[in-house]
């Protein structure tokens, strides 16, 4: 999500191909040029696809003849989004051509791209499997990819652009907790990163493991807090005011 103060990112680490084949893989990747740029990519979807994209992004930061198309040298976040989208589309279409093991539609993936390059604003993009993308604005200040629905209502209601990084981290944990409780395809640990504007380095990074005392506290007290919130609402009555008049 985008705040006045900068960017806050969170991703889970669960990948699965069926409920009996669950693994932990990082889905958040960050490149920095100290004092000049910080770029993070988060992925959802087919793991082979997203790993191929990440590896190629990584390669391009190294090979001298590719560096000018790499994350570390492209002049704007928009151009980074264009190149990342192109790469994502290429990887997906390579797996979907006929080669005897055609897997149409099975190797799809999406990407959230976030970061800031010196002299420009922090920017946040969501890149579709087709390679095109949209950018967050203060009307739509956050993006979700993957299993998005369970965790959406609380973000819709809790987000404020002026909120502190700490509150934003708390909000994302509550949102992930709702999804974790409802859906097996999302699982701990979670990766959290906070990027303060104009610092071009992570202000805060944490992996939230299974035994994380703060996340456990949030998870346990949120059930309680939701229940009190629920009971604080006006009670329903079978006889509504409009019927008694």
Place of tokens 């151009």: 79
Q: Is residue 19 a contact point for a second copy (CB under 8 A)?
A: no
Instruction: Name the CA radius of gyration of the chain, rounded.
Output: 20
Q: Is residue 234 a contact point for a second copy (CB under 8 A)?
A: yes
Evaluate whether 190 touches 12 at the Cβ level (below 8 Å).
yes
Residue 170 DSSP label = H
Interface residues for a second copy in 124-183 (CB under 8 A)? 149-150, 152-154, 156-158, 165-167, 169-171, 173-174, 178, 181-182
Closest to a second copy by CB, 21 or 240: 240
Measured between alpha carbons, how far is 236 from 16 in angstroms, rounded to an integer? Answer: 42
Question: 20, 98, 139, 235: which one contacts a second copy (CB under 8 A)?
Answer: 235
Q: Is residue 223 a contact point for a second copy (CB under 8 A)?
A: yes
Q: Is residue 237 a contact point for a second copy (CB under 8 A)?
A: yes
Quick one: tokens of 196? 């303060």
Question: 98, 233, 244, 245: which one contacts a second copy (CB under 8 A)?
Answer: 233
Place of tokens 């988060």: 42
User: Inter-axis angle of helices 47-60 and 77-95, to 10 degrees?
Assistant: 130
Q: Is residue 240 a contact point for a second copy (CB under 8 A)?
A: yes
Which of 44, 43, 46, 45 has the alpha carbon at shortest distance from 57?
43
Place of tokens 């990084």: 165
Q: Is residue 25 a contact point for a second copy (CB under 8 A)?
A: no
Strand partners, 8: 194
Q: Is residue 89 a contact point for a second copy (CB under 8 A)?
A: no
Q: Is residue 197 a contact point for a second copy (CB under 8 A)?
A: no
Q: Residue length, the chain? A: 245
Closest to a second copy by CB, 136 or 180: 180
Interacting residues with a second copy (CB under 8 A): 149-150, 152-154, 156-158, 165-167, 169-171, 173-174, 178, 181-182, 194, 203-204, 206, 212-214, 217-218, 221-223, 225-230, 232-238, 240-242
């Amino acid at each position: 999500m985008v705040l006045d103060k900068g960017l806050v990112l969170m991703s889970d680490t669960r990948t699965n191909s069926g409920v009996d084949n669950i693994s932990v893989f990082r889905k958040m990747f960050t490149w920095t040029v100290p004092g000049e740029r910080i770029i993070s990519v988060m992925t959802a979807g087919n793991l082979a696809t997203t790993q191929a994209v990440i590896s190629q992004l990584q390669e391009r930061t190294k090979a001298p003849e590719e560096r000018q198309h790499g994350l570390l040298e492209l002049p704007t976040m928009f151009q980074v989004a264009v190149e990342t989208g192109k790469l994502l589309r290429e990887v997906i279409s390579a797996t979907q051509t006929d080669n005897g093991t055609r897997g149409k539609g099975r190797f799809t993936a999406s990407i959230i791209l976030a970061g800031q390059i010196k002299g420009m604003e922090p920017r946040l993009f969501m890149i579709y499997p087709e390679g095109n993308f949209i950018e967050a604005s203060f009307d739509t200040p956050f993006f979700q990819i993957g299993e998005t629905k369970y965790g959406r209502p609380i973000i819709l209601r809790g987000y404020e652009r002026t909120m502190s990084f700490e509150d934003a981290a708390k909000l994302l944990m509550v949102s992930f907790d709702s999804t974790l409780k409802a859906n097996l395809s999302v699982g701990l640990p979670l990766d959290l990163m906070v990027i303060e504007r104009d610092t071009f380095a992570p202000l805060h990074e944490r992996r939230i493991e299974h035994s994380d005392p703060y996340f456990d506290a949030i998870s346990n007290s949120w059930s309680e807090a939701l229940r009190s919130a629920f009971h604080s609402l006006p009670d329903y009555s079978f006889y509504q005011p409009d019927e008694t008049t």
